A = this chain, B = another copy of it.
Amino acid sequence: MAPSLLGGAARTRGAVLDLIRAARTVSRVELAARLGLTAPAITQVVRDLIANDLVVEVGHGPSTGGKPPTLLQLNPQARYGVGVHLERNTCVVVVVDLAGSPVSRKTVPGAASMAPQRMLPIVASDIDSLLTASGVDRDKVVGVGLVTYGPQDWPTGLLLTPQPTPEWMGYPVAEQLTEILRLPVRLDNDANAAAIGEYWLGSVDPRSSYGCIYMATGIGGGVVVAGKVYRGSSSNCVEIGHVSLDVDGDPCTCGNRGCLESYAGPPAVIQQALATPELARRLHLDPHRTDVLADFARITTAASAGDPAARALIEQAARYLGHAAVTLTNLFDLDAIVLAGPSFGPAVAMYQRVIQAELDQRWFSRHAHPVRVLPSANGDDAAAIGGAVLVLQNELTWPS
């Protein structure tokens, strides 16, 4: 047999570990069969994983004639990842174990109008204090996934946006936070992170191709194919919020016209609600307030409680999202679309129903297979959890 390409050993080890993780318990015989490896090869890889404390033996499975097989399981406490979802208003920090389960979390104030030089030491100290409070040994932390908006220079960990202040543009956030924390830090965008979190936590078929629509203040997207985030040229994808719904629509700050965000993004829907004075009064919407997430939550809460005007607004926004989801699916050919992020909130079932109906009627290859619309398994923390999962995945299973 010819030798594998560079990284073959690490790739094999990663594939074995990922399969043990996904299967929860599995025997060496099953691993060998599913990965097409010989028994001695599996024995060697598993010995190495056990020596590194990543995998443990947990009793025996049913005999298939001979000696009952020893079952293997991930040791969730072997390693941890930290996820930080940094936004203008809030910053969520989570610690996630090797199985992808959050072991602790906290929400702290966001970047507001602070420059990165001031904000990053605060983030570092929030991470340190959460690790201490949760009793996680720092030596077991493989790294930090810092998740925020794009565009980004993903390989080098720079932001290419002057949000929230001009100092962030081009600032080496990943490198600086690495230096302060003495832990590897990877930068990524919220929607990519939320998308991979769904894979790791098992709410979608691991072999499938699926998209994630992530809605907080803006609307982002991510696509995962066979367990890996689709990156394109520079990982500045999948910008579903800037899919145009109207070639002659209003100009968007991005340079395009008629972007989805300007029809269905929370700030746009809040403006639509403010245009109905009675609804604005009923929901205590204040045109001078800047807390988009809180105002939008009032609308989604009212819609899901049956307020007809709020419901009409959310259903219309969901149709626009559904229209963009059809374009996403016509281009990427997906099995599923996951709705993630805090802004779906209590109206997630309403969005799910409307977007599903749009796809069922309109996506191009609906006679080839259906596309399922699902709520995220990871709730409001999907992006932060995903950030931690990206670090675990990158260090342990699929170096990207």
Contacts and interface: CB of A to CB of B under 8 A. Distances in A.
A374 to B, nearest CB: 15
Contact of A2 (B12, B160, B242, B361): B12
Given A37-B5, A225-B232, A233-B208, A245 B242 contact: no
A139 interface: no
A366 B234 CA distance: 11
Contacts of A368: 151-153, 160, 234, 236
B367 A334 contact: no
Nearest to A210: B233
Nearest to A45: B2
A15 B5 contact: yes
Q: Which of A8, A208, A363 has the most CB of B within 10 A?
A: A8
B11 A333 contact: no
B361 A255 contact: yes
A48 B2 CA distance: 10
Contacts of A209: 232-233
A362 B11 CA distance: 39
Q: Which of A13, A37, A152 has the most CB of B within 10 A?
A: A37
A270 interface: no
Q: Which of A38, A328, A332, A334 has the most CB of B within 10 A?
A: A332
Contact of A243 (B35, B233, B238, B331): B331
A153 B240 CA distance: 27
Interface in A124-169: 150-153, 160
Nearest to A322: B247
Contacts of A320: 247
Contacts of A2: 8-9, 12-13, 41, 44-45, 48
A242 B364 contact: yes
A331 B240 contact: yes
Interface of A: 1-9, 11-13, 15, 35-38, 41, 44-45, 48, 150-153, 160, 208-209, 221, 225, 230-240, 242-248, 254-257, 263, 320, 323, 326-328, 330-335, 361-369
B247 A246 contact: yes
A366 B334 CA distance: 26
Contacts of A364: 151, 236, 239, 242, 254-256
A306 to B, nearest CB: 26
Nearest to A48: B2
A326 B245 CA distance: 12
Closest 7 CB pairs of A and B: A6-B36, A232-B333, A4-B4, A236-B365, A237-B333, A2-B9, A239-B330
A326 B6 contact: no
Q: Which of A1, A7, A263 has the most CB of B within 10 A?
A: A1
Contacts of A243: 327, 330-331
A30 to B, nearest CB: 15
